[in-house]
Amino acid sequence: MRPSGRNLSQMRPISIETGVMRHAEGSCLIRCGNTHVLCSASIEDNPPRFLKGTGLGWVTAEYGMLPRATNTRNRREAAQGKQSGRTQEIQRLIGRSLRAGVDRVALGERQITIDCDVLQADGGTRCASITGGWVALRLAVNKLLGAGVLTSDPIVDHVAAVSCGIYAGQPVVDLDYAEDSEAGTDGNFVMTGAGRLIEVQMSAEGATFSREEMGKLLDLAEAGIGELVSAQKAALE
């Protein structure tokens, strides 16, 4: 039995509320169980310097946690004067993941920055950030298309992410903190709406895992991503 009472293949309740920020070109609040992330998309007409004159656009991301997103207060990274290695790794993952679903030629020489701010953390914050970040990106691109700034849609597919792991000897999907902290194997799966893999992060936290177990986790992830994509579509209707 999982601590939450869910079955092995059961996702946490998912909700995505759009248009939660007045000034951002795209925004949403994604809730995956008790993990809540505020995602916003900001459009800049100028691309990064290394892309000047290439005709290519760029999608990047920034990630952060509010001090009381967890059960004890964490110091703001700004107060410490630097980002942690964990923060840098997560925001690079979000950026890579979202770029995989974008035709950068069709986007043109502009940059879209996705800000992901964790309001409440209960495991899977990076996965929620990717899933919600895609919705914010989609809304921002819709504005460019609606204004006639873009003539073709640069978004080629949905992008979503889910965690899977081996908990108490069983493969499970969408780990909350209680499971994540005790999992023998932990992984994050990023996929497109068509089921193509973008990135897989897997590690043996307390016990090695077999190829067969890896396959079971991938099956769980694929089904979970399907549910997340359905939630994305519902939020955008």
Burial (CB < 10 A; 0-12, 13-18, 19+), residue 127, is buried
**Structure tokens given for 102:** 């974008």
Distance, CA of 92 to CA of 77 (rounded, Å): 17
Q: Is 124 annotated as a binding residue?
A: yes
Q: Is 76 annotated as a binding residue?
A: no
SS3 146: helix
Closest CA to 152 of 162, 141, 166, 161: 141
SS3 142: helix
- Amino acid letter, residue 104: R
SS3 66: coil
Q: Is 68 annotated as a binding residue?
A: no
In whole angstroms, what separates CA 161 from the centre of its chain? 6
Q: Is 126 annotated as a binding residue?
A: yes
**Structure tokens given for 165:** 């792991």
Distance, CA of 149 to CA of 78 (rounded, Å): 35
Binding-site residues for phosphate:
86, 124-126
Binding-site residues:
86, 124-126
